[in-house]
Amino acid sequence: MTTASAYAATSPTSGLSASTIDRREPEADDVEIAIDYCGLCHSDVHAVRGEWGGTDYPLAPGHEIVGRVTQVGEHVSGFQEGDLVGVGCMVDSCRVCASCQDGQEQYCEQGLTPTYGGPDRRHDGVTTQGGYSSHIVVNQGYVLRVPENLDPAAVAPLLCAGVTTYSPLRYFGVKEGDSVGVVGLGGLGHMAVKIAKAMGATVTVFTTSSSKSQAAHELGADNVVLSTDEEAMEEMVYSFNFIVDTVAARHDLNPFLASLKRDGGLVQLGLPSDEMPPVDPRILIRRRLSYLGSNIGGIAETQEMLDFCAEHGVVSEIEMVKADELDEAYDRMVAGDVRYRFVLDNSSLPEAGQGASRGDAPAGRKA
Ligand code: NAP
Ligand code: ZN
Ligand code: ZN
């Protein structure tokens, strides 16, 4: 057992503060990783603040992890000490169900083992703890290779926001000439814009923030529509092949469904804690539309996404934060005041004493 330095919440209202967590010694198939960076996902906010219910405290969140391998177990192949690696939203799954066999571990019929906040199925059911910590130990089957040609801090958000948007865009088969709408320009939304553009699509951003218009164009969006402007929304009718909806709060999907072409699809990615208004089946029926949800991406698909991003030079737009700025960053995320992903500089965590050696710690990045 080693002790990791961490930032954790003890209740829905405690905020995050310095803490320690136990990490197992690497077993034969495990990789130990000294974490350099961890992205802040809106799911971390939902979980830490108990918005989805069932949060098991204390909880150190974080599932957009990038770091260096410090140790590997004797059966590990493909990773060695010093490798730049990533861990996303899951650290295990049943490995035998149809979804796991298909490389769709995110849809594991027994439930995936989340990187934080869930029972560790192979380790006495202890609650998993995430990447707001100095180091982590993960089974090699759930560790990703991070391309060395990208800024590792800006890669961290790809491990959740990147794959969560890449996966449905690939599922839809987005290609050159397709017209894609992206609803909500936050962490997930800005990755959807970049990835859909890299796939060759024409991209329209729907935002509630008129101040984001210029920035959306700079990210590559071809059009920007203020979703609160009813007239502008009506003009979008029959415009899109696919829409990815990334909004973190309750909202009406029907105006977005109405902007799809025949045979179009809208995938909901955001998981608001409040119930959503019902989808009008008449809109679906009159155009043979699909309304679906999508959960992160499989391990092989996450690797494919990282390699795709390396090839196309796609990374997240980030703002670095230190550990003692996490609570403020959460408030800013809830207020929609982030362009477009906060990333924790894990070298700002207090020393744990007993943790994995960080080796050459990355130079402290300016916030
Ligand atoms: P985020 O960075 O906070 O972005 C969410 C965006 O939603 C905001 O930037 C904002 O964009 C828009 N929005 C509109 N009205 C809002 C309101 N009242 N409150 C908050 N946001 C509002 O969040 P994120 O990290 O991208 O995550 C988005 C959602 O996806 C969260 O619910 C998260 O839990 C979920 N998620 C799902 C998966 C999955 O696998 N399905 C994976 C990761 C995250 P505009 O200002 O442009 O309107
Ligand atoms: Zn996430
Ligand atoms: Zn399974």
Mean pLDDT of 254-265: 98
Does 42 sit in the ligand 1 pocket, CB within 6 Å? yes
Report how far residue 69's alpha carbon sits from residue 88's, in angstroms, rounded to the nearest whole number: 15
Q: What is the mean pLDDT of the chain?
A: 95
The phi, psi pair for 266, rounded to 5°, reads: -115, 125
Q: Which CATH number fits domain 161-293: 3.40.50.1970, 3.40.50.720, 2.60.40.3140, 3.90.870.10?
A: 3.40.50.720
CA of 299 to the centre of ligand 1 (A): 23
**Long-range pairs for 276-280 at CB < 8 Å and ≥24 separation?**
276/250, 276/251, 276/252, 277/250, 277/251, 277/252, 277/253, 279/253, 279/254, 280/254
Pocket-testing residue among 160, 182, 227, 247, ligand 1, by greatest number of atoms within 8 A of Cβ? 247
CA gyration radius for the chain? 20
Q: State the pLDDT at residue 367.
A: 34
Q: State the pLDDT at residue 273.
A: 86
* Model confidence band, residue 356 (pLDDT cutoffs 50, 70, 90): low
Question: Which tokens is 323 given?
Answer: 């550990």
Mean pLDDT of 52-72: 97
| Residue nearest to ligand 1 atom 16, measured at CA | 249
Give the angle 108-305-89 at the CA atoms, nearest 5°. 40
Q: What percent of the chain has pLDDT over 90?
A: 93
109: Cα separation from own chain's centroid: 21
Q: Report pLDDT digits (tens) over 211-258.
A: 999 999 999 999 999 999 999 999 999 999 999 999 989 999 999 999
The residue extents of the domains of the chain are: 2-160+317-348, 161-293
Indicate the pairing of strand 113-114 with strand 16-23: unpaired
* Model confidence band, residue 336 (pLDDT cutoffs 50, 70, 90): confident
Q: Which ligand minimizes its atom distance to the CA of 48? A: 1
pLDDT reading at 127 higher than 90: yes
What CATH superfamily classification does 2-160+317-348 receive? Medium-chain alcohol dehydrogenases, catalytic domain (3.90.180.10)
CA of 356 to the centre of ligand 2 (A): 25
257: Cα separation from own chain's centroid: 24
Q: Report pLDDT digits (tens) over 77-109.
A: 999 999 999 999 999 999 999 999 999 999 999
338: Cα separation from own chain's centroid: 15
Report how far residue 16's alpha carbon sits from residue 323's, in angstroms, rounded to the nearest whole number: 9
Does 336 sit in the ligand 1 pocket, CB within 6 Å? yes
Contact 239, 259 (CB under 8 A): yes
Question: Which tokens is 160 given?
Answer: 């959740």
Report how far residue 195's alpha carbon sits from residue 199's, in angstroms, rounded to the nearest whole number: 6
The phi, psi pair for 95, rounded to 5°, reads: 75, -5
CA of 187 to the centre of ligand 2 (A): 9
CA of 262 to the centre of ligand 2 (A): 31
Q: Name the CA dihedral angle for 173, 149, 140, 130, rounded to a multiple of 10 degrees.
A: -90
Mean pLDDT of 165-185: 97
